[in-house]
Amino acid sequence: MSEVQNASEYMLEVKNLKQYFPVNTGFFHSTMLKAVDNVSFSIKKGETLGLVGESGCGKTTVGRSILQLYKPTAGEVWFDGEKIESKESIKMLHKRAQMVFQDPYSSLNPRLTVADIVAEPIDVHKLCATKKERNDRILELLSIVGLSSEQATRYPHEFSGGQRQRVGIARALASNPEFIVCDEPVSALDVSIQAQVINMLEELQEKLGLTYLFIAHDLSVVKHISNRIAVMYLGNMVELADANELHHNPLHPYTISLLSAVPIPDPQKARASKRIVLSGDVPSPLKVPSGCPFRTRCTRATEECACCKPEFKEVSPGHFVACHNL
């Protein structure tokens, strides 16, 4: 993909990212778990890219590798036209890019007050010179996410799941980032609270001009919030397209079955529609099938699929698919 164009147009460019983890399989043996295998994509400024896939497909690992929480095995990450490799560039990245985590219960330190949790990025990056400035900034952040100032001195256990997620978002906003990786930010929340958090993320994006990488497994949520959607399967990206295009014209057999598996909250439509049920389970990432990783569950699989891995190529403008049998 020739996506190295105008540097300022893209917030983030990921090229051939690989993230392998060594796994002990016996006393003297270890194999490589290929959590992310050769993934390339880019995100424009102000855009939301949705990343979907089943558990274990490597979507969270992509988010973490981008933010250098893991050291990528291979591949390049470019942030706002700058290659991330030196210590300085990583420091710059950590100030300008932040993360919101899935579980609002385990991602907040139970021993810190909400004010101290939110202020952590401020302290780390030394963004406020005086105590007063720091305090004002904390209160400002809390009001942005809809929490009151008297809640600043409380501890995380005193909050509900939705409120905790707000604290997590306030913390992510503390260093004035331009890019936020949202790793399943609403999966742990109740339906009625989900909409509150989704709306807030959308409003913040508008107000602060944020760019999101939105990782989730719930396709209807991802479709709602994203401009473009990427689908991952077993560490590989299988399809990437505009959100509406992907919904109306899915090309990869995995995307098609994933879309048909989403339960529709409408009894008549649900009764009329036929689910395409995939057989079997996702193979272990330690034993990824040869060739196309999806071929063991694919209805279209041919001999070609077993011998060589399909290339991730553009089939129509902005629509990328990795499949031999389109």
Question: Which range binds other proteins by CB under 8 A, 147-155, 160-168, 301-309, 314-322?
Answer: 160-168
8 is a site residue for other proteins (CB under 8 A):
no
Measure the CA angle with vertex 221, ends 205 and 103; round to 5°: 80
Query: What single letter denotes the amino acid at residue 128?
Result: C
**93 vs 167, which CB is nearer to other proteins?**
167
Tokens describing residue 323? 């499949």
264 is a site residue for other proteins (CB under 8 A):
yes
Residue 282: CB minimum distance to other proteins, A: 7
Alpha helices by DSSP H, listed for 189-263, are: 191-208, 219-225, 243-248, 253-261
**18 vs 217, which CB is nearer to other proteins?**
217
Question: Which range binds other proteins by CB under 8 A, 73-81, 206-214, 216-224, 306-314?
Answer: 216-224
Tokens describing residue 48? 């939301």
Number of neighbours of residue 223 by Cβ within 10 angstroms: 18
| Alpha carbons 114 and 110: distance in angstroms, whole number | 9
Q: What is the DSSP letter of 311?
A: P
| Alpha carbons 239 and 268: distance in angstroms, whole number | 30
**15 vs 166, which CB is nearer to other proteins?**
166
Residue 261: CB minimum distance to other proteins, A: 4
Tell me the CA distances in angstroms from 51 to 21, 151, 205, 263, one per residue in order.
21, 33, 17, 19
238 is a site residue for other proteins (CB under 8 A):
no
224 is a site residue for other proteins (CB under 8 A):
yes
**15 vs 297, which CB is nearer to other proteins?**
297
**120 vs 245, which CB is nearer to other proteins?**
245
Question: Which range binds other proteins by CB under 8 A, 111-119, 136-144, 204-212, 217-225?
Answer: 217-225
Question: Which range binds other proteins by CB under 8 A, 11-19, 103-111, 155-163, 307-315?
Answer: 155-163
Number of neighbours of residue 177 by Cβ within 10 angstroms: 20
**153 vs 244, which CB is nearer to other proteins?**
244
192 is a site residue for other proteins (CB under 8 A):
yes
Q: What are phi and psi of 268, to 5 degrees?
A: -70, -45
How many residues are there in the chain?
326
Residue 254: CB minimum distance to other proteins, A: 9
Tokens describing residue 222? 């991802």
**74 vs 208, which CB is nearer to other proteins?**
208
Tokens describing residue 280? 């079997």
Q: Which residues bind other proteins (CB under 8 A)?
A: 54-55, 160, 162-163, 190-196, 198-199, 202, 217, 219-221, 223-225, 244, 247, 257-271, 275, 277-278, 281-282
